[in-house]
Amino acid sequence: MTVLPPPAPEWAVVQWFNTPDPLTLQALRGRAVALLSFQMLCPGCVASALPQAARLHALFPRERLAVVGLHTVFEHHEAMTPAALRAFLHEYRIPFPVGVDRHDGASPLPRTMRAYAMRGTPTWTLIDREGRLRAQHFGEIDDLHLGAEVAALTLGADLRAPRARGDAPGCADGACAAAADG
């Protein structure tokens, strides 16, 4: 028996940058999606994850992969406003679409962040061509690993299944295991 991964929840975004039209998961069906959740004042996001996302955006053709940023502010709300984000995206030359995750009164954590049960920033979420949630990774992930996972995603495959029963000594981070029960 094979259990399919769950569908990725739709995003709750109040404002988009770097795209003429709002993006929806529904409209991206047929393409793999690499979603990077970040905060503009998160050092690991700025030094590592956002440049990595820009490299990913440059490497794969648009019709195979959509790289999308999500500004999931859960602290320092007064400093990380949409106006501040706009300046940040300009100064750092971020080339891919970025949405602002929606807050409601219920929590300091925004809604999409809660719907995906993200633990912090940066978090990578990999969504397959059918809109299913394939992997989620909190913290840094090296380029070799990310390139391999995303390539498999764009091919409709999953690298992690064989690895689960295998001997991948380099797969030291927790993300793979977390998604393996999908």
Stretch that binds a copy of itself, among 7-15, 26-34, 51-59, 111-119 (CB under 8 A): 51-59
Binding range to a copy of itself, per CB under 8 A, among 7-15, 17-25, 112-120, 137-145? 137-145
Which residues contact residue 160 at a Cβ distance below 8 angstroms, ignoring those fewer than 6 apart? 135, 149, 176, 179, 180
Number of residues in contact with a copy of itself, rule: CB under 8 A? 53
Nearest-angstrom CA–CA distance, 7 and 162: 22
Q: Near a copy of itself by CB under 8 A, which window of 2-10, 18-26, 129-137, 151-159?
A: 151-159
Q: How far is the CB of 115 from a copy of itself (least distance, A)?
A: 25
Q: Three-state DSSP class for 89?
A: helix
Q: Peptide bond before 122: cis, by omega within 30 degrees of 0?
A: yes
97-136 residues near a copy of itself, rule: CB under 8 A? none
Single-letter amino acid, residue 159: L
Q: Which one among 29, 62, 107, 119 touches a copy of itself, defined by CB under 8 A?
A: 62
Q: Rounded to an integer, what distance in angstroms lies between the CA atom of residue 20 and that of residue 38?
A: 21
Cα separation, 94 vs 167, in Å, equals 37
Residues at the site binding a copy of itself, with contacts judged by CB under 8 A: 41-43, 46-47, 52, 55-64, 75-76, 78-81, 83-84, 86-88, 90-92, 142-152, 154-155, 157, 159, 162-163, 166-171
